[in-house]
Amino acid sequence: MRFSGRKVLVLGGNSGIGLACAEAFAREGGAVRLTGRDRGTIAAAVASVPGARGDSVDISDLAAMERFYEQVAAEDGRIDVLVVNAGMGGFAPIDQLSPDYWDQVHAINLRGCVFAMQKAVRLMGEGGAIVVTGSIGGHAFVPGNLAYGAAKAGLALAMRQFAGEYVSQGIRVNMVSPGPVETPLLRRNPGMSDEVVGAMRAQMIEAVPMKRMGRAEEVAAAVLFLASPEASFITAANLFVDGGALEIG
């Protein structure tokens, strides 16, 4: 019960890694509030997380996020733990990369996440913890991964900046960077058929020294550790949960 009495906000908590985090925080006593864009998956997530509340809000809509945080302030008073997991996937070779696609990916995966953290720290105090979901794609060459990888690389830098600027206020900021993980995001790549996704998944498994995909619950365990008192002397860390893909290759 490491999070008993703690108010936990999981942005992008309606599926995949975010949902696994929400479920794990709730099991350990956290009062969980989660967000997403799809009302259907939010309702399903809330039903699976005891005591959770859910809100439909698009992290790329900064005005909507401002209104959401005002609601959080009025209803909850504070945020003790923030998990920034909202994001979108997608692959596009450089010769097919468009400005619109680039802007869409960065509006969610970088711009939206940065300003979500900026707004959240107003509601956090000493002992607060932020954990951001990064990706090994922000640190390695992956074909077709320029837009996504650049956004995640930028988010890793943003995490370190937040950690440095808020350490004096007692707020810790860390990142978990997963490798290939079995989540619904894998099958939400625009323009990719099931056959192509299957081939890509096989390539991912081959690139992982452990020769398997990760599980959302394994990433959630790392998130909970970094958010917990057990990690009280850790900030600005980037923990790779990737079966050795980046470190061993």
Quick one: tokens of 151?
């956004």
How far is 59 from 84, CA to CA, in rounded Å? 10
How far is 138 from 155, CA to CA, in rounded Å? 9
How would CATH label the architecture of 7-241? 3-Layer(aba) Sandwich (3.40)
Choose the catalytic residue: 69, 101, 148, 166.
Answer: 148
pLDDT for residue 35: 98
pLDDT for residue 186: 65
Quick one: tokens of 244?
């050795």
Instruction: Give Cα 9 distance to the centre of its chain.
Output: 11
Cβ contact 13:22 at 8 Å:
yes
Quick one: tokens of 227?
């958010």
- Under-70 pLDDT residues of the chain: 185-192
SS3 for 103?
helix
How far is 63 from 106, CA to CA, in rounded Å? 17
For CA atoms 183, 178, 36, 107, give the dihedral sign. Answer: negative
C-alpha dihedral over 68, 224, 105, 123, to 10 degrees? Answer: 30
pLDDT in tens, 193-202: 777 778 878 8
Q: What is the pTM of this model?
A: 0.94
Long-range interactions of 55-63: CB distance < 8 A, separation 24+: 58/112, 59/11, 59/12, 59/35, 59/86, 59/108, 59/112, 59/113, 59/116, 60/107, 60/108, 60/111, 60/112, 61/112, 62/112, 62/115
Cβ contact 171:128 at 8 Å:
yes
Q: Tell me, yes or no, if 148 is annotated catalytic.
A: yes
List, in sequence order, every residue forming a beta bridge with 36; answer none if it has no partner. 56
pLDDT for residue 195: 79
pLDDT for residue 188: 60
Could you give the C-alpha distances from 170 to 11, 59, 75, 121, 235, in angstroms and in order?
22, 25, 23, 11, 10
Q: What proportion of the chain, given as a percentage, has pLDDT over 70?
A: 96
Half-sphere exposure of 2 (CA within 13 A, CB side): 14
pLDDT for residue 200: 79
